[in-house]
Amino acid sequence: MRRISSVLSVLLAAAATFVAVPAIGGQTVATAAVSPIPAPTGPYRVGVHVARFVDAGRADPWRPGRRELPVTITYPADDVRGHVRAPYVTADAASIARAGGLDVTRLVGTRTNGYLDAPVARNVKSLPVVVFSPGFLTPRFVYTALTEDLASRGYVVVAVDHTGDAAATVFPDGRVVGMSVTDSYSETTQRKSVAARVADVRYLFGQARRWNSGHVIDADRRALPAGLGRVIDPAKLGVFGHSMGGAVAAEVSRIDKRTGAAVNVDGALRVGTPAAPIVTRPSSRPVLHLASSLHANSAEARAKWWLPYLANTRVSGGWSRVYRLADSGHASFTDVAAFVPQSVPDVPFLAIPGGLSLGTAPRLVAIATQRALIGDTFDRFLKERAVPRLDNPKAYPLVSELR
């Protein structure tokens, strides 16, 4: 972990201060220079609210006490006057992350495209809630480019830090907890983390109903931003995640009937060494798997889970696709792809399915493609919109279907 994190630190040191992302239709959308994150492509501005939950009915698997979860809730906003942009990472969080081997100190002081506690957009109603689970050992803020964009399309996105297995878990009051994992890649730790994360997501599904009914949801009694609770639709729930978080999203879709749709972003369909249950018992809910080319082309991955999964999915009849993003790596689905200039090459030893490779794909095109696929999946299955291009991988740059 420390070797990989040190390389990520070097990559982040090359972060750009101004980026522009080409939209799928070819239009270029530029960010304000205040944010290193490409501007969201949806019709709404973005509001940001941070909260802390305590699951009183569950012991924390990593630390003494009840399970405590910080989340960043991102949602559509319009009137942002008087509200400041949310920080990308705080100095305290960067310090703890650095102690865990992930140096993001150069990004302290940068801002996101979201406005803290801005009121919800005035013309929205019946907003779906989508929970986001980050990669193993990875803080939730490293996926801001994806969560902001989905929120701008009319979703309430709840990004969670799975306390204990992230390099830095950031709470609303500024408190930061380092990771409790000591044997990161042992099978016992992997199984323990997946089980905890699945329970975390399902707990947050349950909280969505409380938000809509007007209950105080925050363990510190912070109120939701103005108007947000009344427009949440707790019957429209989705989940997506990256790496282990993606595998968790797929598993939640398999076991929790409240799931309207799931997107697995470059997550291996395994728990420890064995194939995940979804390989032999596919989900009845819609699932999109978006894989890096390194992952999708791996002979081991194809033999152990992708091909058996596809065969069993065809028998079960549920909607599922495995889409491959050409010339991409595992880190292509994180904010690193936005921060690191195209001219910075990959480190050779990281060009493996789970490594921090960015591949050679145009990075901002890759981000635009991910945003479009994630948004289109939830638009079809949570908003019940006709999205015919979702069944046509050629409609998206860099995408082909794994069969």
Tell me the average pLDDT across 215-239.
90
Residue 216 vs residue 244, higher pLDDT: 244
Least confident of 14-18, 118-122, 140-144, 358-362: 14-18
Confidence category of residue 34, pLDDT binned at 50, 70, 90: low
Query: Is pLDDT above 80 for 306?
Result: yes
Query: Is pLDDT above 70 for 251?
Result: yes
Query: Is pLDDT above 70 for 119?
Result: yes
Rg (CA), the chain: 19
Tell me the average pLDDT across 131-157.
95
Tell me the average pLDDT across 7-15.
46
CB within 8 A of 221, min separation 6: which ones? none
Biggest CA–CA distance in the chain, Å, is: 55
Query: Is pLDDT above 70 for 64?
Result: yes
Taking only the tens place, the pLDDT of each residue in 345-368 is 777 656 656 667 899 999 999 999
The two three-digit tokens of residue 71, written as one number: 């989340």
All structural domains of the chain with their residue ranges: 2-401
Confidence category of residue 192, pLDDT binned at 50, 70, 90: very high
Confidence category of residue 209, pLDDT binned at 50, 70, 90: confident
Tell me the average pLDDT across 303-319.
90
Query: Is pLDDT above 50 for 230?
Result: yes
The predicted pLDDT at position 90 comes to: 76
* Residues facing 291 on adjacent strands: 324
SS3 string of 49-69? Answer: EEEEEEEEEEECCCCCCEEEE
Instruction: Write the DSSP string, 223-250.
Output: PPPTTHHHHEEEEEEEEEEETHHHHHHH
Tell me the average pLDDT across 34-38.
78
Q: Are 401 and 390 in contact (CB under 8 A)?
A: no
CA 381 to CA 214: how far, in whole Å? 26
Tell me the average pLDDT across 240-249.
97
What is the CATH code of the structural domain delimited by 2-401? Answer: 3.40.50.1820
Give the pTM: 0.90
Question: 252, 269, 266: which is closest to 158 by C-alpha?
Answer: 252
The predicted pLDDT at position 9 comes to: 46
Torsion angle in degrees (nearest 10) through CA of 210, 211, 217, 222: -160
Query: Is pLDDT above 80 for 203?
Result: yes
CA 275 to CA 197: how far, in whole Å? 18
Burial of 64 (0-12, 13-18, 19+ CB in 10 A): exposed
Give the pairing type, strands 45-59 and 66-77. antiparallel
Residue 92 vs residue 384, higher pLDDT: 384
Q: Which DSSP symbol is given to 200? A: H
Q: What percent of the chain has pLDDT over 90?
A: 63
Taking only the tens place, the pLDDT of each residue in 252-275 is 999 999 999 999 999 999 887 788
Residue 13 vs residue 17, higher pLDDT: 13
The predicted pLDDT at position 4 comes to: 41
The predicted pLDDT at position 308 comes to: 94
The predicted pLDDT at position 187 comes to: 86
Tell me the average pLDDT across 56-78.
95
The predicted pLDDT at position 351 comes to: 62
Query: Is pLDDT above 90 for 242?
Result: yes
Query: Is pLDDT above 60 for 25?
Result: no
CA 157 to CA 199: how far, in whole Å? 18
